[in-house]
Amino acid sequence: MVAVTVMLDVAFHGGRSATVSAADIAERLGLARRGMEPLLQTLSRAGLLESVRGPRGGYRLGRPRRDIKVSDIVTVALSEDADPGDGPSGRLQTAVVDRVWSDLEDSARALLSALTLDDLMRRAAAAGLRRPTAEPITFAI
């Protein structure tokens, strides 16, 4: 899911203190910036991200990564996409398929509730990914 990857990118490249620009996120993820803006705004409205304006602006985590569950991210992203009138209907759908999906959602929700952004960051480190270090700004004339 794109929302989880976006949140992980912000945690990995910025965290709570440094901001990450939407353009940089889009470039790293191979996505169009214009298409990502609504998602970033949705995550900001939900308090998962904080939007910072100005020349050094961008996005940073809205709260510590240990306090952001993957299920929170998924819930916010799905709430924007949900259209209850979409999809098939009928007795088989209601009696069988809807119940199967409900059971799967319960299992997925339990798994995602146990994972935090901090857990995903540990997985990134275990995979050998290293957070970039900020380079000092130097001016030469």
- Domain residues of the chain, as ranges? 2-81+116-126
Q: Give residue 132's pLDDT.
A: 78
Q: What are phi and psi of 139, to 5 degrees?
A: -115, 135
Binned at pLDDT 50, 70 and 90, residue 101 comes out as: confident
pLDDT given for residue 46 in this prediction:
96
Q: The whole model's pTM is what?
A: 0.80
How high is the pLDDT of residue 93? 83
CA nearest 68: which of 17, 23, 20, 3? 3
How would you label 26-41 residue by residue, b for 16+ Cβ within 10 Å and e otherwise? beeeebeeeebeebbe
More confident residue, 54 or 85: 54
> What band does 58 get if pLDDT is binned at 50, 70 and 90?
very high
Q: Architecture of 2-81+116-126 per CATH?
A: Orthogonal Bundle (1.10)
State residue 45's pLDDT score. 96
